[in-house]
């Protein structure tokens, strides 16, 4: 695939030949998967009662220091699979009753994914495709997914690029993420629900980080004033510190109830109608998948 011969799939634009070497993300030319299975802890309109058919890809183009999936995103845990096996994973999940196929952190494998899904979508594969992304994407990569992806499940991590630089080692996150999300909305349009399940549309997740309430508010303001009620905003309080950060002590604690409520109240005062909030104990390592590629 020509896209892999000089890789510019994400804004890092490494331009490496992935048949011979790897760039910042660490991915080569073959799809590598760390885990697949039914996932019950996505937004209710994604997981439903029977679960979202998640496929977790190895590696990531961001380097978030607080990543809960560090084992696969940074260390590259997983198993290389063939095109045929990827198709089988999708169809197995559909057979198990998955409401959708949820591609988790797939940016660096987009050319392969498009080639594979195109062959079975609307034929053997009848359920929606979810693209679950950090949103650090080139618009040209999102454009490759037009007609393939039905639902975009997108993060919007930072408004302030100082935070993006400190925590994810990128200096231009909001610029690229905002343009990428614009292309996502352009592709799939206003969200569509049927029987309490999402069939098409965009959900944008905002993970409220400890000490960064104002940044989260700016993200909410941007999304609502730009897209109003055509998208769904998901406000998340599940940040979980997994190690100690000497340089960023705010990351050594969970988000307080007061901080999270302040962001919720801001969204309500702004007029946000369609949003998810998290209740109860979500700040737990028990919500992190136990990655096991032995059955892949």
pLDDT, tens digit, 9 for 90 and up, residues 59-88: 999 999 999 898 999 999 999 999 999 999
Q: Is the pLDDT of residue 206 over 80?
A: yes
The greatest distance separating any two alpha carbons of the chain, rounded to the nearest whole angstrom, comes to 53
* Beta carbons within 8 Å of 198's beta carbon, 6+ residues apart: 43, 45, 46, 100, 128, 151, 191, 192
Inter-residue contact 203 to 102 (CB < 8 Å): no
Q: Is the pLDDT of residue 112 over 90?
A: yes
Report the distance separating Cα 247 and Cα 251, nearest Å: 9
Report the distance separating Cα 26 and Cα 22, nearest Å: 5
Q: Is the pLDDT of residue 284 over 60?
A: no
Question: Which of 45-49, 225-229, 242-246 has the least mean pLDDT?
Answer: 242-246
* Beta carbons within 8 Å of 20's beta carbon, 6+ residues apart: none
Evaluated on CA atoms 111, 16, 25, 216, the torsion sign reads negative
Q: In CATH terms, is domain 2-287 a member of 3.20.20.70?
A: yes
Break the chain into its structural domains and give their ranges: 2-287
Please, which pLDDT band fits residue 198 given cuts at 50, 70 and 90? very high
pLDDT of residue 288: 57
Inter-residue contact 36 to 58 (CB < 8 Å): no
Inter-residue contact 203 to 154 (CB < 8 Å): yes
Across 101-108, average pLDDT: 98
End-to-end CA distance of the chain: 24
Question: What's this model's pTM, rounded to 2 decimal places?
Answer: 0.95
The two three-digit tokens of residue 149, written as one number: 């992806």
């Amino acid at each position: 695939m020509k896209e892999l011969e000089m890789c510019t799939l994400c804004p890092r634009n490494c331009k490496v030949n992935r048949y011979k070497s790897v760039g910042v993300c660490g991915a080569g030319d073959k799809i590598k998967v760390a885990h697949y299975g039914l996932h019950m802890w996505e937004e209710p309109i994604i997981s439903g009662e029977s679960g979202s058919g998640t496929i977790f890809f190895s590696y990531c183009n961001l380097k978030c220091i607080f990543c809960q999936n560090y084992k696969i995103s940074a260390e590259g845990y997983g198993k290389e699979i063939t095109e045929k096996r990827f198709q089988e994973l999708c169809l197995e999940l559909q057979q198990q009753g998955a409401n959708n196929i949820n591609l988790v952190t797939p940016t660096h494998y987009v050319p392969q994914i498009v080639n594979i899904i195109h062959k079975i979508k609307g034929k053997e594969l009848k359920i929606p495709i979810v693209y679950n992304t950090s949103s650090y994407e080139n618009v040209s990569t999102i454009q490759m997914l037009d007609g393939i992806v039905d639902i975009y499940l997108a993060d919007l991590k930072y408004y302030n690029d100082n935070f993006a630089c400190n925590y994810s080692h990128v200096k231009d996150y909001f610029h690229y993420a905002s343009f990428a999300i614009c292309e996502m909305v352009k592709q799939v349009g206003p969200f569509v629900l049927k029987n309490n399940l999402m069939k098409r549309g965009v959900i944008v997740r905002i993970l409220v980080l400890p000490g960064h309430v104002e940044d989260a508010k700016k993200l909410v303001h941007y999304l609502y004033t730009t897209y109003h009620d055509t998208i769904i905003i998901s406000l998340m309080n599940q940040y979980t510190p997994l190690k100690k950060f000497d340089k960023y002590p705010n990351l050594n604690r969970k988000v307080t109830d007061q901080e999270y409520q302040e962001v919720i109240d801001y969204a309500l005062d702004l007029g946000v109608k369609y949003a998810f909030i998290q209740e109860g104990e979500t700040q737990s390592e028990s919500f992190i998948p136990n990655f096991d590629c032995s059955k892949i």
